[in-house]
Structure formats: C-alpha cells, structure tokens
Chain A
Amino acid sequence: MEKIIYAILSGKINHGKLTTLLSGIKGIEGADLVAVSFDQISAVVSNIEKADLVANQINAFAFAHVIEILEEDYPLLPMRFGSIMKSAGSIQEMLEKNYPEFRNNLQKVENKSEFGLKIVCDTEKLKTELKSKSDAVNEPSQKSVAESRDSVFREYVNQKLKAHRLEEMLMGYIDSIIAEFTGFLIELDAVKKIKKMTTATTIIDAVFLLEKDKKAELILAIEAMQSKHTGLNFILTGPWPPYSFVDITLKQ
C-alpha cells in the first residue's frame, strides 16, 4: 500500500504533540494519519491504494481538511492533491534530498496566510464607460469621419485602431486598480501574485501572502476599494494555507 502526502511541516517538532494531533484527524477515506520525519521537518501521510484515488469533492475536501487543521499549529507547505510515494522510506529519502528547499520555503510562509482576490465586472459595460469618457475628452474631428467614409480600407483600419485603443484603456484602468491595492499591500508587507484578464469577466485574479494578524487590515482595505469602485465586484477569500506560494518541484 502506498502513502499519500498531505503537507510538509516545519519547526522543532514535538513528536508527542504531533502524534496526538494526528490521532484526532482522519485522512482520505477515513485513513489514519502518521508523520514521517527527517531532522526538523515532517511529512504527514496516510495509506492509500494508488488505483483507488479519485479526485472527487469528498476526497479533495478530506485532503484540504487535514491541511487546514495542521496549519493552525504548524508552518506548512501543502502538497498537491494526488502526491503519492511507495513507502515511508522513500518519503524520508525525498525529505532528506529536498531539505534545504523545504526549510527555505517554510521560512517564507511562517506565520502567514494566503488570501485570494478576484475582481470581476461586466467588461463590455466597462469598455463602453471608458469609451464615453474618452470620447468626451477627444471629440473626433469631422475630417477623420469624412475620411473614413471615403475608404472602406480606412474605415477598417480606424475600427481596428479604436478597438486597440479601447483595449489599451481597459488595461490602463486595470493597472490603476492594481496600483491602488499594491499601495496598501506594501504597507501590509504582503507578497503578491497578480494575473490580469483571466476570464472575460475576471479582470484581476490575485493572491496575497501576509502575516496572519493583518487579516482585519486587509479586509478593511478591500472593503474601502469596493465602496469606491461600485461597478466592480471584489471577491476576497481566505485565510488559506499557502497553496499559491509554494515553488517546489520535488526531486524523488
């Protein structure tokens, strides 16, 4: 029977305390949890039949539940769902081989939580609003309209240019929103990862890593932004274990 790994824990681990904690939690399919340790890090694992592991909601929730409970007491690196090794011995070897990287990443996430922020809106409506503002500032000259009527080609080019300018305006607007929350993220000493236009409606998809006790300040700052930008919807989730701030691909 193989072992599925839930997370890598750090610190001068009190093994008695960890064993007691693990005895109160069940893993996927109700399996018992055990710790496999090397020096000052431990992998929390349970037995699993490799062929039977299915990515359904029940198993994903069971997996996340274990990580969530452990995170209350230990700095940890969550493993990706489905990380299976053949034995406790091979896990111990893996911990030893990757020890410096684990220690380095564990230090980065200690006493910190992850938050997700998605900013969504009706982008077509937003573009129309941006265009209206722009048109009010830059009225098209009569000449350019007349010219565009003279030539189908010119009209086509003008339309393309307008669409391009509109995209530029949209990206400029998104950058201004990012700059706005980057300001208070610096004050909160948060690490951030930001993606723009991940779907037709999600204009910003960001994750932050910040100290656990700064949660209330983050919520206040996002609420203030939501009040200011009524056309946007701010979806803040968290605190999460630091799933998005783990940059390790393990050598086995």
Chain B
Amino acid sequence: MNNHNVIDQSKDITILELLDRVLNKGVILTGDLVISVADIDLVYVGVKLMLSSVETMEQLKKVKSISEE
C-alpha cells in the first residue's frame, strides 16, 4: 500500500468520524435542530474505510511529520 492510499484512507476515516460526532452527538436542543442536507458527499462512505489500522495511522503520522519538517 503506498503513502497516498494510506493518506486517502486516513482522511476518509477522520472525516466520517468527525461528521458522526458533529451531526449525531453533543448537547441536544429539543425541538429546534435545523438541518437540511444539500451535498451528497456528506454521506459518502468508502469501502476502503475498512482497510486501515493503527499501524498505518502511525505510518501516516510519521510521513506527515517528515513532510512538515
């Protein structure tokens, strides 16, 4: 698996985890949640989400820190 694939997978995972939290969790205000969904990419779930691991995430972190140096 090359670094680009690892980065793509990691981005997908992070985006999905973030959207899951922002849209489904947190303090609930009864009766006044206002959401209309416009962009189809909001709910896109890639099959490759299921392929990552802590190991690849750690590799990604190393790649990222090297590129930032």
Query: Taking beta carbons and an 8 Å cutoff, which residues of A are in contact with B?
Result: 5, 8, 50, 53-57, 60-61, 63-64, 77-85, 94, 116, 120, 201-202, 219, 222-223, 226, 233-237, 240, 243-244, 246, 248-252
In chain B, residues 27-57, which have Cβ atoms closer than 8 Å to a Cβ of chain A?
27-39, 41-42, 50-55, 57
Question: In whole Å, how far is A241's beta carbon from the nearest beta carbon of chain B?
Answer: 8
Report the separation of the CA atoms of residues A201 and B50 in the bound assembly, to the nearest whole angstrom.
Answer: 8
Contact (Cβ within 8 A) B23 A80: yes
Report the separation of the CA atoms of residues A54 and B14 in the bound assembly, to the nearest whole angstrom.
Answer: 21
Report the separation of the CA atoms of residues A82 and B35 in the bound assembly, to the nearest whole angstrom.
Answer: 6
Contact (Cβ within 8 A) A223 B54: yes
A244: contacting residue among B25, B34, B42, B57, CB under 8 A = B25
Q: Assuming the A-B contacts A64-B22, A116-B17, are A55 and B53 also in contact, with contact meaning beta carbons closer than 8 angstroms in the complex?
A: no
Contact (Cβ within 8 A) A64 B27: no
Contact (Cβ within 8 A) A236 B54: yes
Return the 9 tightest CB-CB contacts between A and B, nearest first.
Answer: A243-B21, A243-B25, A56-B39, A80-B26, A83-B29, A78-B26, A82-B35, A233-B53, A55-B35
User: Is B68 engaged at the interface, CB distance under 8 Å to the other chain?
Assistant: no
Contact (Cβ within 8 A) A83 B36: no
Contact (Cβ within 8 A) A60 B26: no
Report the separation of the CA atoms of residues A50 and B29 in the bound assembly, to the nearest whole angstrom.
Answer: 15
Question: In whole Å, how far is A96's beta carbon from the nearest beta carbon of chain B?
Answer: 15
Chain A residues closer than 8 Å to B63, beta-carbon distance: none
In the complex, the chain A residue whose C-beta lies closest to that of B19 is A60
Contact (Cβ within 8 A) A60 B23: yes
Q: Assuming the A-B contacts A57-B41, A222-B54, are A85 and B23 also in contact, with contact meaning beta carbons closer than 8 angstroms in the complex?
A: no
Report the separation of the CA atoms of residues A50 and B30 in the bound assembly, to the nearest whole angstrom.
Answer: 16
Report the separation of the CA atoms of residues A235 and B12 in the bound assembly, to the nearest whole angstrom.
Answer: 12
Question: In whole Å, how far is A179's beta carbon from the nearest beta carbon of chain B?
Answer: 19
In the complex, the chain A residue whose C-beta lies closest to that of B33 is A82
Chain A CB count within 10 A is highest, among B19, B29, B35, B42, for B29
B32: contacting residue among A116, A226, A252, CB under 8 A = A252
Q: Assuming the A-B contacts A226-B55, A235-B13, are A79 and B27 also in contact, with contact meaning beta carbons closer than 8 angstroms in the complex?
A: yes
Contact (Cβ within 8 A) A248 B54: no
Report the separation of the CA atoms of residues A116 and B13 in the bound assembly, to the nearest whole angstrom.
Answer: 11
Contact (Cβ within 8 A) B27 A84: no
Report the separation of the CA atoms of residues A63 and B34 in the bound assembly, to the nearest whole angstrom.
Answer: 14
Contact (Cβ within 8 A) B17 A226: no
User: Is B67 engaged at the interface, CB distance under 8 Å to the other chain?
Assistant: no
Chain A residues closer than 8 Å to B54, beta-carbon distance: 219, 222-223, 226, 234-236
Contact (Cβ within 8 A) B28 A60: no
